[in-house]
A and B are shown apart, each in its own frame.
Chain A
Amino acid sequence: MSHEKREVTVTIDGREVTAIEGEMLHDAARKGDVEIPVFCYEPKLGAPVGACRMCLVEIEGIPKLQTSCSTPVRDGMVVHTRTDQVKKAQNAVVEFLLVNHPLDCPVCDKGGECPLQDITQGWGPGKSRVIDEKRHFEKPIELSPLVAIDRERCILCYRCVRFSQEVSEDAQLQLLERGDRTYVGTFDDRPYVSPFHGNITDLCPVGALTNYTYRFRARPWDIEQAGSVCTLCPSQCNVSFTVRDEKVKRVLARENPGVDDGWICDRGRYGFEMFAAAERVTEPRTKGGTKVSYEDAIARAAAGLAARDGKVAAIVGDASNEEGFLVQGIVRGALHSPHLDSRPAAGPGIDAILDLARPELQATVTDIDDADVILVLGTDPLQSSPILDLRIRKAIRRSGARLAVATERPTALDGGAEAIARYAPGQASYFIGALTAAVASGAENVATPLAESLRDAGKIVIVWGERLGASATNELLGLARALDVDGPKTGLSDGFSAHQQVGLLEVPEVANARGLREAGVLPDAGPGLAALAVNGYGTEAIREALIDRSLDGLILVGVDPLRDFADTSRWEEAINAASFVVCFSTFATATAAKADVLFPLETHAEKDGTVTHPDGRLQRVRPAAGRPGDIRPGWQTLANLSLALGHDTGVTSQPTAFAALTAAVPFYASITESNIGGRGIRWQETESGASVPDAGIASADARSRRVSGESTPASGTSTAAPGAATDSPDTQRDSASAEAVAAPGAPELTLGTYRDLWAGPITELNPPLKFLKPSQRLELSPEDAERLELAPGDPVRVSQGDKSIDATVTVHERIPAGVCFLAEGIAGANANALLNGHQVNVQIEKRSEVPA
């Protein structure tokens, strides 16, 4: 799409301002340092509505005052913002807005950071003539369990309503009644439920919408704002922590167009109270929970690990780049073991990772904005990377992007999709293979409708999930090649336009997945994705090796395999089999309880370090709040542990840790803490970005063969351990098998799992979010529900082999027959217990008793 923009010149208050044609007068005025007060105008919310009338200006040639927020600039326009007529109008508008405003500023949480206060001070008449009774509403009322609404304070600017209608698209907030009785509310006074609804408290220009979590906690002059990055999911939204007395009191969005567009999800906004949870690990412990000093713990850990004679593996999850780098230094340098991984399941081999890291194949978050087609493949952004969901909705709504969705489970984005394809769990690679064939040769198969929507698109962004697994990721590269005219694609027969370009954007499983991979936390690549002489075991191979005693010691950093990894019982077996476990954990989890030495981890409000966004943007997590208890920085503990094991990393501070990282990763070489700054920097855009290693030719060859329809065995992890499971399905199935996974009448259903946005410590340890704690629900298609004689709400037992979990039935129309879905990571009924790395079929039986 072309966006040709002509420049025009307007005169505002005697200043010549160069603006872009079509830009609103308010924005043009801001460029010329002329401030026009606004309440309702917010470009992020889409088209202006001109509701508050605060931005009235005088334009020469137009007899009446115009709203500058909704008047586009025209060449030669002469505008006045300070004439008597404008001042009179501004005074009148402020006075009018204050007619019903209760002026309870001393009580109101917004007091001190309130646009209404500021504008009244700056543009108001300074006097009130109101002698009449103001309108009254019951106050404060729960708009949701997290947001309080005070309707007396509302000035009816429409911002929250527009957010609900046009940004999060949940359409729950409405303006009800008419005239001075108008109020913001939901249908039938139901609570406003949306994973993004906290943003309305940021948008509200008065104190009408306030957070219960920040209710009366502090005043603007009591607090400090500290910018950081939220690492609760791979979106890595920029946030600003409100800190009082060394504790986080509130989380605000910090606008970074390249990452989050100024929104954050409720997980990031309200998740902060778990930082102070009683379950937080605040000091090193030994097995049984005995508290020990750091020195003692490091000595014990070093002695224990050294005694394992190199038979040690490490799995890293929630960690910064520096921490990941130091862990790989400990494992490879100090313990001389090649076994470490940062992925919860077997991932693609290093060749595919290198292909995916190619800068020209990398889509950025902003690429979504002007994409012609967005293909969401194997992930539900709402559950895995919520802010991408808003970004995709924005692209569809604002710039007319088309959306194609291909997933196992219905996604939140289905409603806006032009083409939707469902494949059975475990069949992703076959589906993508079929899609590639349909794209490359026009083959008729299940993926043809999806391929049709990719036709004639100029710019395609594929948002894909790491959950796809190893073989599907390899297929994905084939698809990208088939779509990308610059790739080694031949024999393309039908109408893909010549300027077509394709970019991939990953939604990984852990927040800093990309950074950890690039820091060398991979079984088959060192720092900078460099090839290794000896490849180690991946996550699942490590588990098997622990069980058969070929590995003996285990280092776990920020992971909870007993909750988050597939086949939890086998993980329990593996961790029990390990004779020495060192665990770094934020919370006292089931895994942490099994550790011989347990070290605390910092949260993202306390940590100092860098993380890498899935699109390659390095960002800095900066310490905002004080570390509770005796917690020391992660880099310090790891550097000391490394030193105790006789491997001197030279790391003595966070900057030296970062320097060690950039020295080891060639394509991070020109990144410094100063050029990361507040907005981050994509390594692909730096001088050193070109030094990413090339992928092996052989693998590219293998993939191009697959594009042409030949089937080759999926290449999983490069090293298979004894008994290790790869995610390649056991049996070759027809690539068109999406609907024919389980024949109707079969006793079993294929199990698909998904990661629920609210599963885990975020709702379990966080008092304000406890009400969102999900219970296990078995999602069934209407056909299967009828066949199994199950109704929504029925308690069932879902079993696979000798393992079973309890769930409640929900019926979902968009689920294909033969498939059912369970959520991962739910305490007490974790779907991971049923998984085994292969495609899983489950039996469902109705329970008579209602779950407690």
Chain B
Amino acid sequence: MSEQSFYRQAGSYLDSIDVVEVQRGPEPGGLGGAYRAFGETLRGLKTTMSRLIEGPLTIQYPEEKTPVYPRFRGRHKLHRFEDTGLEKCVGCSLCAAACPADCIRVVAAENIPGERVSSGERYAAVYEINLSRCIFCGYCEIACPFDAITMGHDYEMADYDRTDLIFTKEMLLAEPIERTPLKSEGEDVKGAL
């Protein structure tokens, strides 16, 4: 039984259950068949040909780096207040709570007057991110009530030892090495991440 006849027969029933009719391509055979066989293939080949003319596009990584978009989520950064130099992080652990990969560990401590580390009563005595577990979802950045943690642009984090991928507070606070070029406004760079 062809589909049409099926619909015709089931029509009264199907009308009552509100079926959306499927939009289908041309039937095989005839002009439609020919278009299917060649038209789409040619359309694809057009892209291939244009790239062929363009020549090879190989980025000479690591000498040459792909710029990333401004909202690219790379390695985390911890921030300080520019005026006071105090850490923005108060060790509230909300990032750890939000983290779906459970890769953040925070141990807080109390600020001692005179040796203030953060602006609040508490500060993060230990702040570690296990980057081998991190999935770079950026939830920590969203959870942070003090904008103390943001996702940076660095994606070059390969290392020889798993333990070296546990980034401590000092590493995260350190001025990140800007190894990754950032895509400027409106720029459309080929191969951008």
Interfacial residues, chain A to chain B (CB-CB below 8 A): 104-107, 111-112, 140, 215-219, 221-222
Q: A111, B92: Cβ atoms under 8 Å?
A: yes
Closest to A212 in B: B110
Chain A residues whose CB sits within 8 angstroms of the CB of B94 once the complex forms: 106
Q: A106-B90, A106-B145, A106-B146 are in contact. Are A219 and B97 (CB under 8 A)?
A: yes
Q: A216, B96: Cβ atoms under 8 Å?
A: no
Closest 4 CB pairs of A and B: A106-B92, A216-B108, A219-B93, A107-B120
Whether a CB of chain A sits under 8 angstroms from the CB of B170 is no
Closest to B122 in A: A216
Q: A219, B96: Cβ atoms under 8 Å?
A: yes
Chain A residues whose CB sits within 8 angstroms of the CB of B122 once the complex forms: 107, 216
Scan B96-133; emit 1 where CB is below 8 A from any A CB, else 0.
11000000001011100000000011100000000000
Query: Roughly how many angstroms separate A105 CA and B145 CA in the complex, as a whole number?
Result: 10
Q: A104-B120, A112-B97 are in contact. Are A215 and B92 (CB under 8 A)?
A: no
Can you spell out 7 A-B residue pairs with CB atoms less than 8 angstroms apart? A105-B145, A106-B90, A107-B90, A112-B97, A216-B91, A219-B92, A222-B96
Nearest Cβ in chain A — how far from B166, in angstroms? 15
Chain A residues whose CB sits within 8 angstroms of the CB of B121 once the complex forms: 104, 107, 140, 216
Q: B108, A217: Cβ atoms under 8 Å?
A: yes
Q: B110, A221: Cβ atoms under 8 Å?
A: no
Return the contact of A107 from the options B92, B96, B97, B109 (Cβ within 8 A): B92
Return the contact of A221 from the options B93, B108, B120 (Cβ within 8 A): B93
Q: A106, B120: Cβ atoms under 8 Å?
A: yes
Nearest Cβ in chain A — how far from B52, in angstroms? 55
Chain B residues whose CB sits within 8 angstroms of the CB of A216 once the complex forms: 91, 108-110, 121-122
Chain A residues whose CB sits within 8 angstroms of the CB of B120 once the complex forms: 104, 106-107
**Most B CB atoms within 10 A — which of A105, A106, A215?**
A106
User: For the complex, would chain A's binding face be called helix, strand, loop or mixed by DSSP majority?
Assistant: loop
Query: Roughly how many angstroms separate A106 CA and B124 CA in the complex, as a whole number?
Result: 12
**Most A CB atoms within 10 A — which of B90, B96, B122?**
B122
Query: Roughly how many angstroms separate A89 CA and B80 CA in the complex, as a whole number?
Result: 42
Chain A residues whose CB sits within 8 angstroms of the CB of B90 once the complex forms: 106-107
Interface bin, chain B: 10 to 19
**Most B CB atoms within 10 A — which of A107, A111, A221?**
A107
Beta-carbon contacts under 8 Å, B47-104 to A:
90-94, 96-97
Query: Roughly how many angstroms separate A160 CA and B109 CA in the complex, as a whole number?
Result: 26
Query: Roughly how many angstroms separate A51 CA and B91 CA in the complex, as a whole number?
Result: 34
Chain A residues whose CB sits within 8 angstroms of the CB of B108 once the complex forms: 216-217
Query: Roughly how many angstroms separate A216 CA and B124 CA in the complex, as a whole number?
Result: 9
Nearest Cβ in chain A — how far from B104, in angstroms? 10
Closest to B144 in A: A106
Nearest Cβ in chain B — how far from A621, in angstroms? 28
Closest to B124 in A: A216
Chain A residues whose CB sits within 8 angstroms of the CB of B109 once the complex forms: 216
Return the contact of B110 from the options A105, A111, A215, A222 (Cβ within 8 A): A215
Q: A222, B92: Cβ atoms under 8 Å?
A: no
Nearest Cβ in chain A — how far from B81, in angstroms? 16
Chain B residues whose CB sits within 8 angstroms of the CB of A222 once the complex forms: 93, 96, 106
Chain B residues whose CB sits within 8 angstroms of the CB of A104 once the complex forms: 120-121
Chain B residues whose CB sits within 8 angstroms of the CB of A218 once the complex forms: 93
**Most A CB atoms within 10 A — which of B92, B109, B110, B146?**
B92
Query: Roughly how many angstroms separate A222 CA and B106 CA in the complex, as a whole number?
Result: 9
Chain A residues whose CB sits within 8 angstroms of the CB of B110 once the complex forms: 215-216
Chain A residues whose CB sits within 8 angstroms of the CB of B106 once the complex forms: 219, 222
Kindly list 11 other residue pairs between chains A and B, CB separation below 8 angstroms, not including A107-B90, A221-B96: A105-B92, A106-B92, A107-B120, A107-B121, A107-B122, A140-B121, A215-B110, A216-B109, A216-B121, A219-B93, A219-B97
Query: Roughly how many angstroms separate A221 CA and B102 CA in the complex, as a whole number?
Result: 11
Nearest Cβ in chain B — how far from A222, in angstroms? 6
Query: Roughly how many angstroms separate A111 CA and B92 CA in the complex, as a whole number?
Result: 9
Query: Roughly how many angstroms separate A221 CA and B145 CA in the complex, as a whole number?
Result: 17
Chain B residues whose CB sits within 8 angstroms of the CB of A217 once the complex forms: 108
Chain A residues whose CB sits within 8 angstroms of the CB of B145 once the complex forms: 105-106
Nearest Cβ in chain B — how far from A716, in angstroms? 56
Query: Roughly how many angstroms separate A487 CA and B115 CA in the complex, as a whole number?
Result: 71
Query: Roughly how many angstroms separate A165 CA and B152 CA in the complex, as a whole number?
Result: 55
Closest to A112 in B: B97
Query: Roughly how many angstroms separate A216 CA and B121 CA in the complex, as a whole number?
Result: 9
Query: Roughly how many angstroms separate A107 CA and B108 CA in the complex, as a whole number?
Result: 10
Chain B residues whose CB sits within 8 angstroms of the CB of A219 once the complex forms: 92-93, 96-97, 106
Nearest Cβ in chain A — how far from B141, in angstroms? 15
**Most B CB atoms within 10 A — which of A112, A216, A217, A221?**
A216
Nearest Cβ in chain B — how far from A718, in angstroms? 57
Query: Roughly how many angstroms separate A789 CA and B105 CA in the complex, as a whole number?
Result: 63
Scan B134-158; emit 1 where CB is below 8 A from any A CB, else 0.
0000000000011000000000000
Chain A residues whose CB sits within 8 angstroms of the CB of B92 once the complex forms: 105-107, 111, 219
Chain B residues whose CB sits within 8 angstroms of the CB of A140 once the complex forms: 121
Query: Roughly how many angstroms separate A354 CA and B146 CA in the complex, as a whole number?
Result: 66
Scan B1-26; emit 1 where CB is below 8 A from any A CB, else 0.
00000000000000000000000000
Closest to B143 in A: A106
Nearest Cβ in chain B — how far from A105, in angstroms? 8
Query: Roughly how many angstroms separate A439 CA and B106 CA in the complex, as a whole number?
Result: 65
Query: Roughly how many angstroms separate A215 CA and B146 CA in the complex, as a whole number?
Result: 20
Nearest Cβ in chain B — how far from A487, in angstroms? 60
Query: Roughly how many angstroms separate A111 CA and B97 CA in the complex, as a whole number?
Result: 12
Query: Roughly how many angstroms separate A106 CA and B121 CA in the complex, as a whole number?
Result: 10
Nearest Cβ in chain A — how far from B44, in angstroms? 51
Query: Roughly how many angstroms separate A140 CA and B122 CA in the complex, as a whole number?
Result: 12
Closest to A139 in B: B121
Query: Roughly how many angstroms separate A54 CA and B114 CA in the complex, as a whole number?
Result: 41
Query: Roughly how many angstroms separate A105 CA and B94 CA in the complex, as a whole number?
Result: 10
Q: A221, B97: Cβ atoms under 8 Å?
A: yes
Nearest Cβ in chain A — how far from B124, in angstroms? 10
Nearest Cβ in chain A — how far from B22, in angstroms? 44
Chain B residues whose CB sits within 8 angstroms of the CB of A105 once the complex forms: 92, 145
Nearest Cβ in chain A — how far from B110, in angstroms? 5
Chain B residues whose CB sits within 8 angstroms of the CB of A106 once the complex forms: 90, 92, 94, 120, 145-146
Nearest Cβ in chain A — how far from B115, in angstroms? 15
Closest to B109 in A: A216
Chain A residues whose CB sits within 8 angstroms of the CB of B96 once the complex forms: 219, 221-222
Nearest Cβ in chain A — how far from B154, in angstroms? 27
Chain A residues whose CB sits within 8 angstroms of the CB of B93 once the complex forms: 218-219, 221-222
Closest to B99 in A: A221
Chain B residues whose CB sits within 8 angstroms of the CB of A107 once the complex forms: 90, 92, 120-122
Query: Roughly how many angstroms separate A791 CA and B120 CA in the complex, as a whole number?
Result: 50
Chain A residues whose CB sits within 8 angstroms of the CB of B146 once the complex forms: 106
Query: Roughly how many angstroms separate A107 CA and B120 CA in the complex, as a whole number?
Result: 7
Chain B residues whose CB sits within 8 angstroms of the CB of A215 once the complex forms: 110
Nearest Cβ in chain B — how far from A665, in angstroms? 45
Query: Roughly how many angstroms separate A106 CA and B145 CA in the complex, as a whole number?
Result: 7
Nearest Cβ in chain A — how far from B179, in angstroms? 32
Query: Roughly how many angstroms separate A321 CA and B110 CA in the complex, as a whole number?
Result: 42
Closest to A217 in B: B108
Nearest Cβ in chain B — how far from A208, in angstroms? 14
Nearest Cβ in chain A — how far from B111, in angstroms? 9
Query: Roughly how many angstroms separate A112 CA and B92 CA in the complex, as a whole number?
Result: 10
Closest to A220 in B: B97
Nearest Cβ in chain A — how far from B91, in angstroms? 7
Closest to B118 in A: A107
Closest to A104 in B: B120
Nearest Cβ in chain B — how far from A299, in angstroms? 39
Query: Roughly how many angstroms separate A216 CA and B120 CA in the complex, as a whole number?
Result: 12
Nearest Cβ in chain A — how far from B185, in angstroms? 34
Nearest Cβ in chain A — how far from B85, in angstroms? 19
Beta-carbon contacts under 8 Å, B152-192 to A:
none
Nearest Cβ in chain B — how far from A541, in angstroms? 53
Nearest Cβ in chain A — how far from B121, in angstroms? 5
Query: Roughly how many angstroms separate A140 CA and B110 CA in the complex, as a whole number?
Result: 11
Chain A residues whose CB sits within 8 angstroms of the CB of B91 once the complex forms: 216
Nearest Cβ in chain B — how far from A795, in angstroms? 38
